[in-house]
Chains A and B, each alone.
Chain A
Amino acid sequence: MNLLGAVKFPPIENVIEWPAWLFEDSTYFAFNKIAFIHFLGLMIPVAIFVLGARGSGLVPRGFRTVSEGIVNFVDTQIAIPGIGQDRKPYLPLLVSFFLFIFIGNITEVIPFFQMPANARMAGPLVLAIIAWGMFIAVGVRQNGLAYFKEVLFPPGVPKALYVLVTPIELLSTFFVRPFSHAVRLFANMLAGHILLITFGVLCISVWSASGLILIQLGTFPGLVAFTAFEVGVSLIQAFVFTILAAVYIGGALHPAH
């Protein structure tokens, strides 16, 4: 795509698809940059919590502060508002969601990576399906098959309206919810990634075209500002995905509410 005559944007596959580093491309175990970011999403929390577990004493220090801060944040800002008093068994899942997604997002602004793993549909879809399976399992374990009755036939609704409400609830809760949950994260991160690429390409193109140096005064600060903005988006999207998972689990625990 050409813009402003001299600016040439790369094709979409060049900025979201990555070749395999290990195994063959187009195999189930092709290990590329996205898989490596997911690997970091596993290893960085493991490192933080292993180092944090070494600390002792009444006042936390070093990695203990970081690990406890993360747990405390997820507990007080996500688990308690989303689930309430019965949150403890679900805290590991919520902490895992938050850290895995945040690391998968923040690589968007880290040199060498400059790609959010969640700008690919696979990661968000896997996480959304796990959240979906989890809240259905929780609902059934807590309420038995009456869970489905409570969700599909909400109490307090006039019976005549069930003709409308029940299909809507069936679609929204059990079919649309995992996709909306995944697409919300994926689309935000992909949009941010394309935005940063756009400004990056503009900066490079304008820098190389000496006659357009004045435009650089707008594009480079824009790139810096959007990079900072994407740091916030990375955190917010991790928070939003995790709190939605918590709300779904909380809703499954108490479907009548």
Chain B
Amino acid sequence: MINLWALAAEAEEAGDPPNPVIPTENEIVWAAIFFILLWALMKYVLLPPIMKAMENRSSTIQSGKDAADAATAALGSARRSHEATLAEARADASTILAGARAAADERRAVLQAEADTEIAEMRRSAQAEIDQARADALTGMRGDVSSLAVGAAEIVLGRSVDAGSQQSVIDQALAAD
């Protein structure tokens, strides 16, 4: 293997300018000492507290985030529950309203039917009273009409007419009216 340091020494002896690629022993020694010291300190002393603090912060932030996520989930659940309850209440209200409407309609129908029945009864009663009055009027009028008709017939015929035997003719005439 090429001995770079021997070549450098030869070049120096020959008075050539130094080759910058050839490392010098003292700089290698100090670079190695200081870097290995830094690495050891970094590994065992300097980095662990920083890493621990960063991990603690990460876990604190993560737990806070988890708590926030849980709270958000709970809020969502509560909101869904609230909306479900609201929907249920709305459905109940609709059912109650529909029931009330149905009951009111039923009641209105019953009252309407009762009123119609009552009106019909009153109409029937009034009709009966009218019929009775007419019958009473006809009955009252029949005697008068018989007397007048018999009287008028006796005048026209010039003789007496038996009212009893002519009664059926008078009734037929009245019934025809």
Contacts and interface: CB of A to CB of B under 8 A. Distances in A.
B165 interface: no
Contact of B35 (A20, A52, A100): A100
A67 B50 contact: yes
Contact of B18 (A13, A35, A38, A95): A13
Interface residues of A, number: 55
A160 B164 CA distance: 157
B20 A12 contact: yes
B22 interface: yes
Given A13-B17, A29-B26, A120-B27, A41 B34 contact: yes
A92 interface: yes
Contacts, number: 131
Contacts of A162: none
A125 interface: yes
Given A123-B31, A125-B23, A42 B46 contact: no
Contacts of B22: 121
Interface in A23-77: 23, 26-32, 34-35, 38-39, 41-42, 45-46, 49-50, 52-53, 55-56, 58, 60, 64, 67-68, 71-72
Interface stretch (B37-45, B99-107, B120-128, B134-142): B37-45
Nearest to A89: B43
Contacts of A27: 26
A39 B47 contact: no
A127 interface: yes
Interface of B: 17-18, 20-32, 34-39, 41-43, 46-47, 49-51, 53-54, 57, 60-61
Interface of A: 11-13, 16-17, 20, 23, 26-32, 34-35, 38-39, 41-42, 45-46, 49-50, 52-53, 55-56, 58, 60, 64, 67-68, 71-72, 91-93, 95-96, 99-100, 117, 119-123, 125-127, 130, 183, 186, 190
